[in-house]
Amino acid sequence: MKCFYPFKDKSKNKKGSNSAPEPRNLNKLDNSALNRTTRSLPSPRSIPELYKEKEQNLRVFSLQELREATNGFNRMLKIGEGGFGSVYKGTIRPADGRGEPLVVAIKRLNQHGLQGHKEWLAEVQFLGVVNHPNLVKLLGYCCTDDERGIQRLLVYEYMANRSLEDHLFNRARSTLPWLRRLDIILGAAEGLAYLHEGLEIQVIYRDFKTSNVLLDGNFKPKLSDFGLAREGPRGDHTHVSTAVVGTYGYAAPEYVETGHLKAQSDIWSFGVVLYEILTGRRVLERNRPTVEQKLLDWVKQFPADGKRFSMIIDPRLRNQYSISAARRIAKLADSCLKKNSEERPTMNQVVECLKLAIRESEEANTSNKIPVASSSNLADRRSKRV
Ligand SMILES: Nc1ncnc2c1ncn2[C@@H]1O[C@H](COP(=O)(O)OP(=O)(O)OP(=O)(O)O)[C@@H](O)[C@H]1O
Ligand SMILES: [Mg+2]
């Protein structure tokens, strides 16, 4: 799915190519993009302020180290490509130089320009501050000039199972079982709830979509891509005013119309992904008959309480799901997709509702209606619940 970041268009980014900072001087840069709200209040602290306290936790890599880590950015090691650049699988030495080499994912900015740099900086600062099991871990970065211009790279923990997008829509992959889908979306919801309500300052993620939900070796989900994240409104402010960026199909309508960003914009995107999980369809599929192309329009014909509701459920699930839990999730999605953003639930409410849907599915599971999903995290969580 293509983004509509105006600044992801290479041709528009001619400025700023000489603005490479010294790696440890990130905090001296102009952080106005991250500080949309008033600075006059003494607290809470801004992300750049919080970052200053934690920056030593990030490793600073030289370009040469990352070249070696990826065998010269070898095409064979390329594992993904997004609006920001290419992602490679690589191997680095542990920070203390001892022990086994570490497998990592290395993202390399492929456009030179102020906006690309801002996105990179936002990612370093937000990920340098946050700490949650459902947010991807940033290990370090590289920020340097070389003969071909500025170089901006990010080094993350490697997520062996790629993204939720991959497993939900790639027909070459085996079907993602029902309980695993719910477990993944619950983890993603917990990550978003932490951003909205679990930090000193509210963080609006702004780019919630299946390709940004990465999966580790145990299918544990982690949100990635903080390049578009913003601090939420402070004090009496109801929203943050920004340029409209994000991904077509996922952005809340009021945000697209006004540029007024609130945490509720993320909730809308979450509702879109809930329907993608239920149906196994993308928010926009141009190869379908016209009435089925826009997912949110199509599902309206099959209300959660209606007799025909089950017709929207991903046929690859082959009835291996709990219909009552599916109805609950469709209702939750509908509430996330309320036109009036104030009527949408909070992420903590979403988390609670998803836990109920999982419990409901597990009960159906014990009466042998759904095969047991075998991931270790599912098994772990179930045993804790008992
Ligand atoms: N830490 C990681 N571990 C393993 N794979 C990763 C990691 N980060 C990214 N990837 C892979 O690289 C792909 C591209 O990621 P990237 O964030 O650059 O773009 P995107 O999310 O697909 O699109 P966009 O730029 O519009 O957000 C991901 O979908 C994922 O498959
Ligand atoms: Mg991404």
| pLDDT tens-digit readout, 302-331 | 999 999 999 999 999 998 999 999 999 999
- Output the pLDDT for position 40: 53
- Output the pLDDT for position 369: 52
> Which one is catalytic: 207, 225, 266, 314?
207
Beta bridge partners of 150: 145
Candidate from 9, 161, 211, 220 with most ligand 1 atoms within 8 A of CB, to mutate: 211
Nearest alpha-carbon partner for 184 in 155, 215, 150: 215
CA of 118 to the centre of ligand 1 (A): 18
Prediction pTM value: 0.85
- Output the pLDDT for position 192: 98
Is the previous residue joined to 44 through a cis bond, with omega within 30 degrees of 0? yes
159 Cβ inside 6 Å of ligand 1: yes
- Output the pLDDT for position 123: 94
- Output the pLDDT for position 241: 80
Look up residue 314 and give its amino acid. Answer: D
CA of 87 to the centre of ligand 2 (A): 10
Interatomic CA distance for residues 141 and 381, integer angstroms: 34
- Output the pLDDT for position 366: 73
- Output the pLDDT for position 232: 87
Q: Where are the alpha helices (DSSP H) in 162-315?
A: 164-169, 178-197, 253-258, 263-279, 290-293, 295-299
Interatomic CA distance for residues 386 and 384, integer angstroms: 5
Nearest protein CA to atom 4 of ligand 1, as residue: 159
Does 207 qualify as catalytic in the annotation? yes
- Output the pLDDT for position 17: 32
CA of 371 to the centre of ligand 2 (A): 31
162 Cβ inside 6 Å of ligand 1: yes
DSSP 99-139: SS-EEEEEEEE---SHHHHHHHHHHHHHHHH---TTBPPEE
Weakly modelled stretches of the chain, pLDDT under 50: 1-39, 371-386
Alpha-carbon radius of gyration of the chain: 21
- Output the pLDDT for position 179: 97
- Output the pLDDT for position 367: 66
138 Cβ inside 6 Å of ligand 1: no
Write the Ramachandran bin of 181: left for phi over 0, alpha for psi from -120 to 50, otherwise beta: alpha
